Amino acid sequence: MEKLKYTRVEECCEILDSMRIPITASDRKEGKYPYYGANGIQDYVNDYIFDDELVLLAEDGGNFGSKEKPIAYRVSGKCWVNNHAHVLKPKEEIDVDYLCYSLMFYKVDGMINGATRKKLTQTAMKKMKIPLRNIVEQKKIVQQLNKIIEIREKAKKELNLLDNLIQARFVELFGDAVYNDKKWETDTVKNLCKEIYGGGTPSKAHPEYYKDGDIPWVSAKDMKTDVLKDSQIKINQLGVDNSTARLVPVNSVIMVIRSGILKHTLPVAVNKVPITVNQDLKVFIPGERILTRFLAVQFKMQEKDILSGVRAVTADNIEFNSLKQRRMIVPPIDLQQKYLMFLERIDKSKFVIHKFLYCTTHNTKSIIKPRPNTKESGKIRGRETTCRRILTF
């Protein structure tokens, strides 16, 4: 097989970063044109800079290192782009979708810098390489990947249906969690928990607190699932001993109380391994009258009501004292257990779907890097998924 060749981004694209113009939220005038940032649409404004088929690649604040969320995405037509995304226009010999797929899950380890906010500089971006193929092969690959994306979207819809089923079963057994129409016994979050506390951040001025870290240090960006097993950043015992971060026991409820995500979502999770958390999160250790996961689910069932009280001072936040006084329903433990047994059955179905979604994104760094004894057509051998065979870089 002929050795696959590569081309640099600076060779195959016109880089339009110089045309970007950031607009502060207070200066934006509402309109019909999308205003894009590192990870997608940030707002809609009344004017546009670009009117073309482009690929936007995160410069800073992107999903760097994520196996599920891409760092590049396609835009089409009239739009405005701020300075948090590189703007790439492929040259004639490069298909725009092929370029996008090639960069979506690009391995940027060693290319990004910044301690707290990772940044992919233009200099580093220009050196990124994508497989160089003729336009016919590019379009064939794009067709294959489009089919996989379509299947993934169907799988995500199935997950949403299962989440709706979880809520429907809760209402069937317990009624409305806010209004308590079934007249269950209630008590405050404070009284139902043995302990409630926040987290902390080991000083970044002491890299020794993070060196060879093996303790997950969870922040809002890690709160993307309802089960916590890992984090993007880890600390060591020295970091715990020299900060306000505390080791959180397994099977505690973790909630984000300060983050921009509180504009629309209340992240709540249960940790399956010992962790630490930063100051934007709170830890709830339930007492004997309420089961851990039942408390977590009930927080989610009251999500809209809790978020209605979110304040934006320096950042969107939940008033903590008010949260501790929030009343929770307290059904008999055996009924809580019955509901959690139902959740375990749903979990098995969700696990299968999550496993599929993981397989279709794992190692998706680019588009088809042929392996020994395989064809470039994307066909599979053994039990490997089609998507992985197509996408693995």
Residues 6+ apart with CB under 8 A from 256: 220, 223, 262, 266, 267, 268, 280, 281
> Domains of the chain (ranges plus CATH)?
5-132 (3.90.220.20), 143-174+332-393 (no CATH), 185-330 (3.90.220.20)
Task: Give the range among 35-44, 288-297, 333-342 with minimum mean pLDDT.
Answer: 35-44
Rounded CA-CA distance 98/90 in Å is 10
Q: What is the identity of the amino acid at 236?
A: N
pLDDT of residue 377: 41
Confidence of residue 362 (pLDDT cuts 50, 70, 90): low
pLDDT of 212 higher than 60: yes
Q: What is the identity of the amino acid at 103?
A: L
83 close to 61: Cβ distance less than 8 angstroms: no
pLDDT in tens, 307-330: 998 876 556 889 999 999 999 999
pLDDT in tens, 145-197: 888 889 889 999 999 999 999 999 999 999 999 999 999 999 999 999 999 99
pLDDT of residue 117: 75
pLDDT of residue 115: 62
Q: Could you give the percent of the chain with pLDDT greater than 90?
A: 74
pLDDT of residue 118: 84
pLDDT of residue 372: 46
pLDDT of residue 383: 38
For 298-326, b/e burial (b = at least 16 CB within 10 A) is: bbbbbbeebeeebeeeeebbbeeeebbeb
Confidence of residue 378 (pLDDT cuts 50, 70, 90): very low
- Whose tokens are 């599929």? That residue is 356
393 close to 363: Cβ distance less than 8 angstroms: yes
Q: What are the φ and ψ backbone dihedral angles of 28, each rounded to 5 degrees?
A: -75, 135
Rounded CA-CA distance 377/141 in Å is 8
Write the DSSP assignment of 156-222 as a string of letters: HHHHHHHHHHHHHHHHHHH--TTT-TT---EEEHHHHEEEEEE-----TT-GGGTTT--EEEE-GGG
Residue 33's DSSP bridge partners are 45
pLDDT of 65 higher than 50: yes
Confidence of residue 365 (pLDDT cuts 50, 70, 90): very low
* Burial of residue 296, with CB atoms counted within 10 A of its CB: 0-12 exposed, 13-18 middle, 19 or more buried: buried
pLDDT of residue 1: 56
302 close to 177: Cβ distance less than 8 angstroms: yes
What integer best gives the mean pLDDT of the chain? Answer: 89
Element (H, E) at 53: strand 50-58
Mean pLDDT, rounded, for 270-298: 97
299 close to 226: Cβ distance less than 8 angstroms: no
Quote the tokens at residue 99. Answer: 């370029």
Pick the more confident residue, 250 or 371. 250
Residues 6+ apart with CB under 8 A from 372: none
What is the side-by-side order of every strand in the sheet holding 276-277? 233-235, 215-218, 276-277
Mean pLDDT, rounded, for 41-67: 92
pLDDT of residue 313: 57
pLDDT of 369 higher than 70: no
Q: Map residue 342 onto helix, strand or coil.
A: helix
- Whose tokens are 């506390």? That residue is 197
Chain-centre distance for alpha carbon 393? 22
Residue 53's DSSP bridge partners are 76
Confidence of residue 373 (pLDDT cuts 50, 70, 90): very low
Confidence of residue 382 (pLDDT cuts 50, 70, 90): very low
Q: Could you give the percent of the chain with pLDDT greater than 70?
A: 90
